[in-house]
Amino acid sequence: MSLLAWRGLTATCGLLLAAALHPAWPAALHPPLVTISALALLLVISLLVGARDPGERLVGAGALAVALALGYDGLRGHRGQLTLEVGQGTQSFEEDGPEGRSLGLRPLGFGAFLERVDADGGATLKVEKGPAIAVRPGHAASYGGFRIGASGRAEAGEPAALRLAVAGPQGSTVVEVRGGAPVEADGLQIAVEQYFPDFALDATQQPYSRSSEPRNPAALLRVTRGTQSWRVFVIRAMPGIHRPAGLDRVLTLTDVVVSEAVRLRVSREPAAPVALAGVALMALGLAWGARPA
């Protein structure tokens, strides 16, 4: 008991906890959660056991409240990310664990779609049969027990459209082909069969994408005219590389129209008021201890 009440232990635990909590450390040097929890527990116990006046008792009680609130939010709260393109809907978000690991999808409890992305990075979510939720940078919104805050813009994984030039005897036309919806151009029906944002060939000469960034975009197109059908490979870096027999048109991938998406931070922290009250108690206790004797 006397060891727990020793101020040297309190100071050491506080010092180590302060170092462990600081975000300046690289991820590899971050101590595991169990170490941080043990340090916090030891600090709270030593503050409570070593308290000798009302001020110190207040600090100990506040630290206990903060530790309990953070523990409860760690176990029962949820934090994660949501990346949506305009018009895209969702009923869940990607949950992050306490150490930043992805825990998979967690239901939101309601369905919503991204109605609009504003120029300042804000966004408007429309809840199914519900209100519109406006999220602006610096102003999070509440809905369904969650806090939703703007976390930044993001490029969507899939392109909004591929811009193709179709050159034939009558000249050239430019069309935008969106995934899953064939378009008609110069008497041809063109649909995207497969898209490679960063095209490359593997050891067995099979196509794959090195990344989701559109660095070397390419696509496999299904082109039909009447009963005739062709598969045409287009790559932006090498226009007109593939000319299938019987097709009197040259298809060229000229550009990729990147779809705009917004990243939102979704949080549920039910014990936040308790943590706040705990910090307030600690501040009060420290101020009490600073009174003139």
Structure tokens at 24: 């300046």
Among 44, 61, 117, 140, binds another protein (CB under 8 A): 140
Among 76, 139, 210, 243, binds another protein (CB under 8 A): 139
- Toward another protein, which CB reaches closer, 22 or 129? 22
Nearest to 162 by CA among 180, 184, 179, 187: 179
148 lies in the site for another protein, by CB under 8 A: yes
Distance in angstroms (rounded) separating the CA atoms of residues 128 and 114: 11
Task: Identify residues 45-74 at the interface with another protein (CB under 8 A).
Answer: 59
The region of 7-15, 123-131, 165-173, 245-253 touching another protein under the rule CB under 8 A is 7-15
Minimum separation from the CB atom of position 132 to another protein (A)? 17
Structure tokens at 73: 């939010």
- Toward another protein, which CB reaches closer, 236 or 265? 265
| Strand partners of residue 260 | 155
The region of 2-10, 169-177, 194-202, 206-214 touching another protein under the rule CB under 8 A is 2-10
Minimum separation from the CB atom of position 279 to another protein (A)? 5
266 lies in the site for another protein, by CB under 8 A: yes
79 lies in the site for another protein, by CB under 8 A: yes
Query: What is the three-class DSSP state of 120?
Result: coil
The region of 17-25, 123-131, 169-177, 247-255 touching another protein under the rule CB under 8 A is 17-25
- Toward another protein, which CB reaches closer, 21 or 105? 21
| Site residue total, another protein (CB under 8 A) | 45
225 lies in the site for another protein, by CB under 8 A: no
Helix 33-49, helix 54-76: angle, nearest 10: 150
Distance in angstroms (rounded) separating the CA atoms of residues 248 and 104: 48
Among 92, 124, 216, 267, binds another protein (CB under 8 A): 267
144 lies in the site for another protein, by CB under 8 A: no
106 lies in the site for another protein, by CB under 8 A: no
> Which residues have a Cβ under 8 Å from the Cβ of 219 and sit 6 or more positions away?
162, 192, 193, 194, 195, 196, 233, 234, 235, 253
Minimum separation from the CB atom of position 54 to another protein (A)? 14
Minimum separation from the CB atom of position 111 to another protein (A)? 19
Tell me which H or E stretch contains 72.
helix 54-76
7 lies in the site for another protein, by CB under 8 A: yes
The string over 226-248, giving b where at least 16 C-beta atoms fall within 10 Å of a residue's C-beta and e elsewhere, is eeeebebbbbbeeeeebeeeebe
125 lies in the site for another protein, by CB under 8 A: no
| Strand partners of residue 96 | 79, 102
> From edge to edge, which strands make up the β-sheet containing 132-135?
132-135, 123-127, 102-117, 89-96, 78-85, 260-268, 146-155, 141-143
| Strand residue runs (E) in 69-209 | 78-85, 89-96, 102-117, 123-127, 132-135, 141-143, 146-155, 161-168, 171-177, 183-185, 188-196, 199-201, 207-209
Helix 7-21, helix 33-49: angle, nearest 10: 150
- Toward another protein, which CB reaches closer, 146 or 195? 146
Residues within the interface to another protein (CB under 8 A): 6-8, 10-11, 14-15, 17-19, 21-24, 59, 79, 137-141, 146-149, 151, 265-267, 269, 272, 275-276, 279-280, 282-284, 286-287, 289-293
